[in-house]
Structure 1
Amino acid sequence: MPASLKKQFKTEFAVEMTCQSCVDDITTVLQAFPDINHFEVDLSDQRVTIEGTALPSKISRALKDSGRTVIVRGQGVADETQGHSGAAVCIFDIYGEDPTQQMPKGKSGLARFVQIDQDTCLIDLTVEGLEPGKHGVHIHECGDVSRGWLSTGDHFNPTGVDHGDECTGHLGDLGNLTVDNNGWGDLVVESERIKVWDIIGRSMVITKHEDDLGRGLQQQSKWDGNSGPGILCGIIARSAGAFENMKKICACNGNTLWEEARLVQDNRVSN
């Protein structure tokens, strides 16, 4: 998003913290952003809430660079009386090409979309259990997952351009998701091209390989970035907005989907 376009974001992050020293470190990171109007760091809840024109993707990266686990828990408008213009969610529940194939244990994914206003859509995507490295992320034109990702159609491309990055390529091109050595990865994007009302009912696919963003020499690069077959996919559905529904995975302990996923991952690593 151009620096000249100043929108007031409100973003809530779950940030790994253990002591007051962590709070001090995070405070120092956030104070370096002149375009953050207000922030709160809650040690007991391991929660950081930020308001201002600073891009959530940049804040997320800065917090991660401090060596902590960071998960976007909610996104919305700073002025809650304005509401938002729509929200959607995609739960990745199809693995590979066979929709009847059970998702392998430890693999999961969730994408959330919040239309802040008519111009800006905030997108955050989190996955667990994938191979380390970069994986392409795309919105496909169809919501048909009867044959897994194979029946989702082409990348969503209403303007008829070649494949590329999230700024110049297909409308459904979202670049790459980077997965760390523990199989955990996320992506935060602000988009002026994607509108929630245009993508509800379509599908989202994460690919096996890195997307070359249309810069490869082969013709395939102009089609799908040589990103290979899909490994996770799901249908984009209308949802409650950020802070309205934390999408609990377990009614017993009240953990959100990604709090639960992190616990699963930590247990697997420790064992």
Structure 2
Amino acid sequence: MIEPFQTTFAVPMTCEDCVKDISSSLYKLQGIQKVDANLKDQLVLIEGTAAPSAIVSAIQATGRDAILRGSGTSNSASVCILETHSNAVSNKIRGLARMVQVGSNMTLVDLTINGLSPGRYWATVRETGDISQGAASTGGIWEALKSKVLGSQEPKEPRGVFGTVDVDEKGKGNVFLDRPVAVWEMIGRSMVVSKNKDGPFRKDDPDTIVGVIARSAGVWDNDKMVCSCSGKNVWEERKEQVGKGMV
């Protein structure tokens, strides 16, 4: 059973009717337990078990945009931006994985794909975070060797095998997975999404995407509205990300 967790989203709101509209849309989602919208700070705090991607879609259905500002508690959330290393395509960002730890050994993974060829893909965490040659330099599946149990006819599935995601004819796919791992174990490793689970991978394959898993802000850890690196506010960055295929 998935334990409830918290997420916060930046949402443009102008009045109490906005708050009611957003709250009404969110409470229609399965797994939503609490919605607390702060009109002054333009933030919506949500508690429950619904996927962050489903929450964003529900808010966007009201005609407003939403940006995930944090999830879980401090040191319990991570994110992975997934890109192709093929030179044959201009828009290299093709996916995003949001991860939040909800127990001592349980992490939820919200994986969204945008721009891959139709089909079924494997999402795996790899031994290293070396993506200099794309997925080809990431090493084997994390804990693949440890998963082989002596005396067992069928090897145990490595914890690095997260599962599959189906991509439709429009190049879009989304899956909400739970895995018996802790966030801190994955920081600095890489995630690969590919039709080939085990490899070897080709650097120039546009349908193999890879990224390094990085620590993400907890619910109360990120209140910055302007990036110190680019000088852009969160909505300017959001527009730029959407233009690159980020969702």
TM-score using structure 2 length: 0.65
2:192 counterpart (185, 205, 209): 205
What amino acid does structure 2 have at the position aligned with 1:261? Q
Count of residues paired in the alignment: 230
Aligned counterparts of 1:122 and 1:257: Cα–Cα separation in 2: 25
Cα displacement (A) at 1:93 = 4.3
* 1:141 equivalent in structure 2: 127
What amino acid does structure 1 have at the position aligned with 2:163? G
Q: Retained in 2: the 8 A contact 1:132–1:181?
A: yes
Q: Retained in 2: the 8 A contact 1:114–1:242?
A: no
* 2:106 equivalent in structure 1: 120
* Sequence identity percentage: 30
Following superposition of structure 1 onto structure 2, how do residues 35-184 of structure 1 map, counting pairs within 5 Å?
Answer: 36-40=32-36, 49-51=45-47, 54-57=48-51, 60-61=53-54, 64=57, 68=61, 73-77=68-72, 83-96=73-86, 101=87, 104-105=90-91, 107-156=93-142, 157=144, 158-160=146-148, 169-184=157-172
Q: Deviations over 1:43-68 (max 9, x none)?
A: 999975321xx4223x8558858994
What amino acid does structure 1 have at the position aligned with 2:158? H
The verdict on how the C-alpha distance between 1:93 and 1:224 changes in structure 2, with shifts beyond 3 A counting, is closer
Aligned counterparts of 1:70 and 1:177: Cα–Cα separation in 2: 25
Cα displacement (A) at 1:233 = 1.0
Q: What secondary structure sits across from 1:88 in the alignment?
A: strand
Greater relative contact order (Cα < 8 A, sep 6+): 2
* 2:7 equivalent in structure 1: 11
Q: Which runs of 5+ in 2 are unaligned?
A: none
The verdict on how the C-alpha distance between 1:155 and 1:139 changes in structure 2, with shifts beyond 3 A counting, is same
Aligned counterparts of 2:39 and 2:117: Cα–Cα separation in 1: 32
Instruction: Single out whichever of 41-50 and 233-242 deviates more from structure 2.
Output: 41-50
The verdict on how the C-alpha distance between 1:70 and 1:127 changes in structure 2, with shifts beyond 3 A counting, is farther
Q: What secondary structure sits across from 1:115 in the alignment?
A: strand
Following superposition of structure 1 onto structure 2, how do residues 222-233 of structure 1 map, counting pairs within 5 Å?
Answer: 224=198, 231-233=208-210
Q: Retained in 2: the 8 A contact 1:155–1:170?
A: yes
Kindly report the root-mean-square deviation, in angstroms, between the aligned alpha carbons of the 2 structures.
4.6
Cα displacement (A) at 1:139 = 0.7
What amino acid does structure 2 have at the position aligned with 1:198? E
What amino acid does structure 2 have at the position aligned with 1:262? V
Aligned counterparts of 1:236 and 1:66: Cα–Cα separation in 2: 26
Q: Which runs of 5+ in 1 are unaligned?
A: 78-82, 212-222, 267-271
Aligned counterparts of 1:178 and 1:46: Cα–Cα separation in 2: 34
Q: What secondary structure sits across from 2:129 in the alignment?
A: coil
TM-score using structure 1 length: 0.60
What amino acid does structure 2 have at the position aligned with 1:30? Y
The verdict on how the C-alpha distance between 1:133 and 1:254 changes in structure 2, with shifts beyond 3 A counting, is same
Aligned counterparts of 1:134 and 1:70: Cα–Cα separation in 2: 29
